[in-house]
A and B are shown apart, each in its own frame.
Chain A
Amino acid sequence: MTRIAQALLPAAFGALVLTLWELAVRLNEIPPYILPGPLTIMAALWESGPELLQALSVTLEVTIAALILAAVTGAGIALLLAQSKLAEQTLFPYAVFLQVTPIVTVAPFVIIWVNNVFIVLLILAWMAAVFPIISNTLLGLKSADPNLKDLFRLYGASRGQTVLRLLAPSALPYFLGGLRISGGLALIGTVVAEMVAGTSGARSGLASRLLEASYRLELARALACFALLSAAGFILYIALDVLSRRLLRHWHESARPVESI
């Protein structure tokens, strides 16, 4: 199968579904405040495009800041936990708590304790995103080749040299796997946080706009927000996937160029 066909197939499937949707709405005369057709949604998107894109940029600002913060702190925490079995046993359960606690339940406290909306959203999105990075990176740090570790000891490598030249590269593919999961989670975290925090006004993100529109039964506009958020999440995933492949292309099996089948 050629690459063009590979790209066309999902696009054709999407077009088919949208056509059936449009037809179903028109033939059954479903009113737009119950279910608007794809054309109506596209019109809404066109009409308030600049405004929605501006709101999307507010949301993505938080998402990307949270993802970067999660990448840095997650890798740092994993490195700390990998230093000793004792540190891991003592602290890892708390990382699990971070993962299993729904951020919706933490949001009210964060909102009371922090009075800057951007920071509130950042904290909540970070909470949603950081665990896969911690847990994957930790796994990667622990899976360095034991013979290579022996070699580093034999040559009198310092701790810093071992981390930089052996542990970090060994953990990189795992870290990047975590990052791809966390990209989506950071966006979900930001959206949930925006909805819970009830941001409003000119500096509010796309999730608040979605909520506003749905309260006013402007379903086409709400669905336009939804489509933009989904597209942003998809593009974020692709971007992280491309980053991962570029960094690993020379050596890791996951980034091996695809042979023609």
Chain B
Amino acid sequence: MNDPAVVLAGVSKIFSTGTAALAATDLSIAEGSFTSVVGPSGCGKSTLLRLIAGLTPPTSGRIARAATATPLATGFVFQEATLMPWATTAENIALPLRLASVADAEVAARVSDAVARVGLGGFAAAYPRELSGGMKMRVSIARAIVNGPRLLLMDEPFAALDEFTRFKLNDDLLELWQRNRWTILFVTHSIREAVFLSERVVVMSPRPGRIVADLAVDLPPQRDAALRLGHAFADQCARVTSALGDAFLTQAAS
């Protein structure tokens, strides 16, 4: 296993409203790994990402980040595309570079590279309202990768999309990851999506969020769309489903 990019030691989060979002949690994310976090709504998945991104401080515990996982080397993708409606595709993607005062020529080169990588060719001058939901999400991903981050935090990025678009984006994301080997932490409430994409699935229980299972996905590293049809894939989904089921039973009993 590679060196960890992020290590959480006893990290918990209680909001100022008194809501306990995350119980003391230990988690180590290996450099270059693709990890998914699954769990029902309100299990603190988003809070976990925001803590790792440094957008909110932990109530207790500490977070150690490798040099490749500092907030400035992190790309964040939200559930909604979260684009600036007044800016074109190219200017939205350029945002991290603009904020870092990168020179115009380099911005142009890096943006056109990111546009090509997420398959947005021909839409650089379009405004967000002219794009479909799937296209907007591609812009959002391009923005997250444009400044060459090593850590990608993705908070249910495909939840609002239809199944066809979601499958296509899953395939494309997987291909991008296999080529670039970012460290990806991917939050989703879709078990199938988690199993298809990741090497490791972390299962969380609801409020306060706790990690109740940590499963290695036993599928070949080279994956393609055909994998979704096989028995091996169904078996892995069943393992995660049963771990989630156990989590709910434990919670109901306590």
Q: What are some 26 contacts across the A-B interface (CB < 8 A)?
A: A147-B78, A147-B82, A148-B82, A148-B84, A150-B50, A152-B99, A154-B54, A154-B74, A155-B95, A155-B96, A156-B71, A156-B99, A156-B100, A161-B98, A165-B95, A165-B98, A166-B84, A169-B86, A169-B87, A172-B86, A250-B86, A251-B86, A251-B87, A251-B127, A251-B128, A252-B86
Residues of B within 8 A of A155 (CB): 72, 95-96, 99-100, 147
Per-position binary interface string of chain A over residues 144-185, scored 1 when its CB falls under 8 Å from any chain B CB and 0 otherwise:
010110111111110001000110010010000000000000
Q: Are B71 and A151 in contact (CB under 8 A)?
A: no
Report the minimal beta-carbon distance from A163 to chain B, rounded to whole angstroms: 13
Question: A50 to B50, alpha carbons, bound, how many Å?
Answer: 67
Q: Which residue of B lies closest to A162 (CB)?
A: B99
Rounded to whole angstroms, the CA-CA distance of A152 and B54 in the bound complex is 12
List the 8 closest pairs (A to B, CB-CB), nearest first: A251-B85, A147-B82, A155-B99, A169-B86, A251-B86, A157-B99, A155-B96, A147-B78
Residues of chain B lying within 8 A (CB to CB) of residue A145? 82
Smallest CB separation, B89 vs chain A (Å): 12
Given A145-B82, A250-B86: A156 touches B55 (CB 8 Å cut-off): no
Given A165-B98, A166-B84, A251-B85, does the pair A150, B55 have CB atoms closer than 8 Å?
yes
- Name the distance in Å between A253's Cβ and chain B's nearest Cβ: 8
Known contacts A148-B84, A166-B84, A169-B86; is A156 also within 8 Å of B95 by CB? no
Contact A251 to B98, CB < 8 A, known contacts A147-B82, A150-B76, A156-B72: no
Q: What's the least CB distance linking B53 to chain A, in Å?
A: 6
Cβ–Cβ contact A151 & B85, under 8 A: no
Q: Which residues of A contact B86 (CB under 8 A)?
A: 169, 172, 250-252
| Chain B residue nearest to A148 in the complex (CB) | B82
Which residue of the partner chain A has the closest CB to B147? A155
> Can you name 11 extra interface pairs (CB under 8 A) apart from A150-B50, A154-B74, A155-B72?
A148-B84, A151-B82, A151-B95, A154-B71, A155-B95, A156-B72, A169-B87, A251-B85, A251-B86, A252-B85, A252-B86
A153 to B74, CA, bound (A): 12
B129 at the interface (CB under 8 A from A): yes
Does B80 reach chain A (CB closer than 8 Å)?
yes
Residues in B neighbouring A166, C-beta threshold 8 A: 84
Most A CB contacts (10 A, CB to CB) among B95, B96, B99 go to: B99
Shortest distance from the beta carbon of A189 to any chain B beta carbon, whole Å: 31
In the complex formed, the residue of B with least CB distance to A248 is: B86
Query: Which of chain B's residues have a CB closer than 8 A to the CB of A153?
Result: 55
Closest chain B CB from A173 CB (angstroms) = 9
Give the residue among B74, B86, B129, B147 with the most A Cβ atoms within 10 A.
Answer: B86
Give complex CA distance A156, B55 in Å.
Answer: 11
Whether A154 contacts B98 by the Cβ 8 Å rule is no
Please name all residues of chain A whose beta carbon is closer than 8 Å to the beta carbon of B99 when the two chains form the complex. 152, 155-157, 161, 165
**Please, what's the 1-or-0 string for B57-91, where 1 marks a CB less than 8 Å from any CB in chain A?**
00000000000000110101010101011110000
Closest to B129 in A: A251
Most buried by B among A152, A154, A156, A252: A154
Inter-chain contact A154/B53, CB cutoff 8 Å = yes
Q: Cβ of B78: which chain A residues have Cβ within 8 Å of it? A: 147
A252 to B127, CA, bound (A): 10
Name the residue on B nearest A145 (C-beta).
Answer: B82
